[in-house]
Each structure stands twice: as C-alpha cells, then as structure tokens.
Amino acid sequence: MTEENDKLKRLLNTIQIPEPNEEARKGALNAAVAEFEQLKKAEEEKVEGFSWLRRRTDKTLRRGPVMSKQFVIAVGTVFSIFLMVMVMMPHFVSYPNQYSYLRRLFSPRVEEKSKEGLVDSLNSFIIKYGGSSQSTAFERGWRDQTYAARDRFEAATPNPVKKTSEEPVSTFSIDVDTASYAFVRRALNNGTLPQKNAVRIEELINYFDYDYPLPEDRSIPFKPTVAVFPTPWNPDTKLLHIGIKGFDIVAQKRPKSNLVFLIDVSGSMEDRDKLPLLKNAFRMLVETLDPEDSVAMVVYAGAAGTVLEPVKAKEKGKILAALERLSAGGSTAGGEGIRQAYALAEANFDPDGVNRVILATDGDFNVGIRDPEELKGFVERKRKTGIFLTVLGFGQGNYNDALMQKLAQNGNGVAAYIDSLNEARKVLVDEAHANLFTIAKDVKIQIEFNPAKITEYRLIGYETRLLRREDFNNDLVDAGDVGAGHSVTALYEITPTGSTAKLIDDLRYGKPETAGKENVEEKSGEYAFLKIRYKLPESKDSLLLTRAVDKKSEYQSLASAPDEVRFASAVAAFGQLLRGDSHVKDFTYNDVIKIAESVRGKDRFGYRSEFMNLVRLAKTARAMGDN
C-alpha cells in the first residue's frame, strides 16, 4: 500500500513544469497589487463616511466583550433614532429647507459625491484585468488594414534642389521625433507600403542611436560632427552629413521628475493596440522612475478628470491601481484634458526638476477645442511655464499624426508612435533619459554653402521643420529639443561645382558666379559653414556653435566613411525609396540592404537588424503594388 503511494507520489512529481513567462508574472503581481490598492481605497472611502463610528467601534471592541455589548446597545439606540427620523422624513417635505438640512445632516457625503461624480463616471468602467494573455495579444498582428486610410498625415513635398548662388543658406529646426519610423514599420509589417506622407525621412534616420563623439566638456550639451562623402545613389553628387549627440545624464545626477500622464480613454482607444498597450507601456515606465519622482494621471473621454492626484513614484501600488481602472468609452474632450493636465503639472511644479505632461492618445480629439490651431496655441503658451510635453501616439484607424506633431513641436516636446510593447520599451525605458530630460532646447541648424565649391544642394527630410533664414537668430522662434543621449542627424545631398549632376541651369541674365570672389577665395577650401543655435533648458537666450566643413571631413569613398554615417545614408535612401522620390534614381532596396548590412554596429537592442527586415518587407510590399 505504502509502496503504491510512494510510486504515485514520485510519478506525480516527475512532471516538468515550464517556467512561467516573466511578463505574465509581473502582470499578475501588478494586477493583484492594483486590486489590493483598489480595495484599500474603497475601504478608506467607506471609512471616511463613518469615521466616528469606526473609531468608536475600534475603541469599544478593544475594551472587551462587556463593553461591546454596551456598544451594541448604543448603536442600536442610534439606529432606532435614525429610523424614526427616516420615517418622519416625509413630514418635512412641506418644509423644504428643513428637509434639505436634515438630508445634509444624515448623509454628508451626498454633495461630495456629486462633486466626484465626474471622476466616478470616468471610473465607472472599472475593468478587471483580463489575464496575462492580454500582454502579448496585441503584438500578434494587426487587423483591418482598410483602417489605415483614415490615418491623417500632413502632406509634405520633398525639399527642392536649391541653387547655391541664389540661396546659399539653409535653416531648419532639429527633429528628434521617431513616430514616423514606428508607423512605417507597422504598415510594412502589414504587407503594405506606408502612405507617402507618413514617411518623414529625418524621423526614420533619427530613430536610431548613433555613436557620435560627445563633447569633452559638459558646459556644451553636444558637439557637431560633419562628414562629406560620395552619395550612394548618385555617383556625381556628395552627401554632407551633420550629426550631433547630446551627453547623457548620469543616473545619480538625474533631476526629479514631475510627470502628469494625460490619457485618452475615449471609445476609439479600446482596441488592444491602444489602451491595453498603453497600460503596459506605462507600467514599464513606472518601474523606471525614482522613488521621489511624482506622478499624476488625468484621463479624458466625454469629460476630463483627474484619476490620480500627484503621488510619489514609490507609491507604485496607487499608480498601478489607477492605471488598471482605466477603460475606454465616450467621445474625446482632449482639449479639456490638456488643460487639467497642465494645471496639475503647474500645481506640482518643481523648479529644479523635470516637469512634463505625457499625452497618450490616438489623436482623435473630437470634443471641446478641436481646432488644431487653438490647441497648438494653448500648448505653446504653456511651454513658457517650463512644462514640457511628450506625445505618444497609439493605434491605427483614426491616428491623427498631423495634430500630434503640431502639439509636440509647439509644446517643447517629443512625439513617438507606439506600435508594440517593444517600441514602448524603447521610448519609455531604454531612452527614458532622452525623452524625459531635455539638455538643450530650441536647437536650430543653419548652414551656408560655399558657391565656389557647391552649385546645388538639397536637404533630405525635415520638410515640416524648415525655418526662415532670419528665424535662426530670433530666439523667440521655437525649434526642436535634444534630450539626454539623443542623437540627431541631418543629410544634405550636394552637387560639387562642375559636376554633371547639376539640375538647375544657370540664369541667362544672372550675375556670373564670381560674385564676392575675393571673400570666397579666402575660404575656398571650405564646402560650407555650419552654425547651431541652442538654449540651455532653463535659459531664454541662445548660444551659438560653429564649425567649418572642409576637406578634412571629406571621405573619398563610401566605404571609407564612418559606419554611423553610412548607416544614416542607408536609412535616408530607404526613406526616399518609400516616398518614391525621383532623386534616388535606380537605387534599389537591395542596395540599401547592402550598405546597412556592412555597418550594423553594436546594435544593442537589435534596431538595426529590424531595419533590414523592414527593407526586405518593403521589397515585397512594393512588388504587390506593381501587380
């Protein structure tokens, strides 16, 4: 008998149990903690109403059973009086004042309740976290491609080729957004080519981290590096590459953060690649915060409401519970939400810290201020208070890219598009420093080409970021910001004088190109002169960095150019191919792969390998289009 039992025991324990998924584990723990917090909060609310009663109960019960008997009698008496009053209540109806007085007396929470009604209505959707399968479900692919056509992008025509003799100066604002890349990736993973306007080449290029040299001295936030090398897609032109990389904030020196999450919970957010993904993303962000960082949460749907007053990040449970409670429903009063979020950020403003509103939405503001210009104006005014804005785009279907871009650009902010948990990790965890801590703001680049060396030039990408020449020195004109560790890259395709690739004919009546010759000759070795203006995060006045682009930064062949530079050129070519630009001529996706393959670099997170996959996907997507 015992032998049999032992065998049974042994056999039952022979089973090999697979390790649980780490994400499932974390999700389960967080869900339980959220539930715990939720119940605690409900309990506290209940107690508040009866605090006197509870205090009595506690005290009395502790004194022992005899007292508790007395207590029961006391409570019984109180209740019978209460009942009597209730019964008599209708008699007071004829005296409305007395009635309302009594009502207030006996249910002091009624009014409070109605005040909270707004929040309650937002909270009414309390959903039970539906299981760990959720965390991976949204990564399983996207449905309904027909949706994609409703996503809104601002139209942008590629920058035209400029003639140096006519317009030697080019000015633009930097752009560290990456939304476009994620959107392109999503489309390609669906087997379709992205809409042309969804492809912003500079965002594709800046999606990747480049190892540009850092400044030796912290007093300057970054150092520009320049390179001139043969254009991969055109043997007769060259590429001028400008790269800057901001220093990274050392973890200990990291300032405190005052973050306000502004979360869209309107009906359109209920898709699994929106709100559920957003929750997961924010759960990850919460993990990376310092205990003293402060977090608040505002949601907006039909109405806007604060679901979490500012708390310290160490009270993780509260934050997670508030996140859990979110669910989607109603139309979108984004404007009001933004107002409340900024108000909270202002109330909790930390002059030495980072103050930031993080807006997560599919960009569909359909109630309240819906005029993009008005919203833009609001965000722009708030920028001056020192509160920065991060815009995280989610989902597809009615994604309003144009508005998101506008908000981020005008609110001293960053815009990113979150299409998967991986992307959330990149934006919120791996690059948290870059996206949360600004080291330089209003960074503008101006470059003056030397007509003696270059006849024509063309800026690749940055179509939505062009500035007027005079804006460069005008500190009131807003521009992009650089976060800790961010790298920014810009590429110009330049046509050297005498090259056969020249596209624009000389003017018949124009001056000969010898204008100002004596001056030009002096600096004849230079291709161009680079100027960068930036402001330190708290400063109103800009600082200037300059550097000449000359022979020293030139590489005779593509192969001899630095890896980072070559990779950037591959991404630029890819973007232009996706847009169907004429400048890339007979360059193909295969050529892009060839360059990218040779320069994958460290690729710590596998982003560059992913890029190669996307190029391959684009090849087949294109083939489908041709049929």
Partner 1 sequence: MDNYSDIELVELSVDGDTEAFEYLIKRHYMAVYKVSYKWCGVKEDAEDITQEVLIKLAQKLKTFGRKSSFKTWLYRIIINTAKDYHRKHATKRVYETAFAAERSTDNPGSQEDEHIDAARLYKALEKLPEKQKTAVLLVFSEGLTHNEAARVLRCTEATVSWRIFQAKKRLKKSLEHEI
Minimum Å gap between C-beta 13 and partner 1 is: 6
Question: Which tokens belong to 230?
Answer: 């043969």
* Cβ closest to partner 1, residue 8 vs residue 88: 8
Sign of CA dihedral 145, 150, 153, 156: positive
Minimum Å gap between C-beta 33 and partner 1 is: 5
H or E stretch covering 509? none
Minimum Å gap between C-beta 15 and partner 1 is: 5
* Cβ closest to partner 1, residue 28 vs residue 220: 28
* Cβ closest to partner 1, residue 35 vs residue 154: 35
Distance, CA of 583 to CA of 161 (rounded, Å): 10
Distance, CA of 158 to CA of 582 (rounded, Å): 10
Pairing between β-strand 438-449 and β-strand 169-173 as defined by DSSP bridges: antiparallel
End-to-end CA separation in angstroms for the chain: 74
Minimum Å gap between C-beta 427 and partner 1 is: 26
Distance of CA 422 to the CA centre of its chain: 13
Minimum Å gap between C-beta 14 and partner 1 is: 4
* Cβ closest to partner 1, residue 29 vs residue 515: 29
Phi/psi of residue 351, nearest 5 degrees: -65, -25
Rg of the chain over CA atoms, in angstroms? 31
Distance of CA 571 to the CA centre of its chain: 21
DSSP 111-127: HHHHHHHHHHHHHTT--
DSSP 188-231: HHTTSPPPGGG--HHHHHHTS---PPPPSSTTSSEEEEEEEEEE
Residues in contact with partner 1 by CB under 8 A are 4-5, 8-18, 20-21, 24-25, 27-29, 31-33, 35-37, 39-40, 43, 128-129, 131-133, 315-317
Minimum Å gap between C-beta 141 and partner 1 is: 18
Minimum Å gap between C-beta 324 and partner 1 is: 10
* Cβ closest to partner 1, residue 18 vs residue 351: 18
Using CB atoms within 10 Å of the CB of residue 133, give its burial: 0 to 12 exposed, 13 to 18 middle, 19+ buried: exposed
Minimum Å gap between C-beta 43 and partner 1 is: 8
Minimum Å gap between C-beta 137 and partner 1 is: 11
* Cβ closest to partner 1, residue 33 vs residue 343: 33
* Cβ closest to partner 1, residue 141 vs residue 512: 141
* Cβ closest to partner 1, residue 100 vs residue 133: 133
Residue 468: CB atoms within 10 Å: 9
* Cβ closest to partner 1, residue 5 vs residue 627: 5
Using CB atoms within 10 Å of the CB of residue 212, give its burial: 0 to 12 exposed, 13 to 18 middle, 19+ buried: buried
Rounded to 10 degrees, the C-alpha dihedral 90/94/97/103 comes to 10
Residue 118: CB atoms within 10 Å: 14
Distance, CA of 168 to CA of 165 (rounded, Å): 6
* Cβ closest to partner 1, residue 43 vs residue 211: 43
The partner residues of 494 in beta bridges, in order of sequence, read 238, 457
Minimum Å gap between C-beta 320 and partner 1 is: 10
* Cβ closest to partner 1, residue 132 vs residue 613: 132
Minimum Å gap between C-beta 30 and partner 1 is: 9
Minimum Å gap between C-beta 368 and partner 1 is: 36
Minimum Å gap between C-beta 357 and partner 1 is: 27
Specify the amino acid at residue 433: H
Do residues 460 and 201 lie in contact, with contact meaning Cβ atoms separated by under 8 Å? Answer: yes
Specify the amino acid at residue 613: N
Minimum Å gap between C-beta 109 and partner 1 is: 21
* Cβ closest to partner 1, residue 317 vs residue 413: 317
* Cβ closest to partner 1, residue 50 vs residue 79: 50
Backbone dihedral region for residue 465 (phi beyond 0: left; psi -120 to 50: alpha; all else: beta): alpha
All residues at 6 or more sequence positions from 394 whose CB lies less than 8 Å from its CB, including other chains: 269, 273, 274, 275, 277, 278, 360, 361, 362, 417, 418
* Cβ closest to partner 1, residue 38 vs residue 396: 38
All residues at 6 or more sequence positions from 247 whose CB lies less than 8 Å from its CB, including other chains: 214, 215, 218, 221, 222, 439, 484, 485
Distance, CA of 350 to CA of 491 (rounded, Å): 38
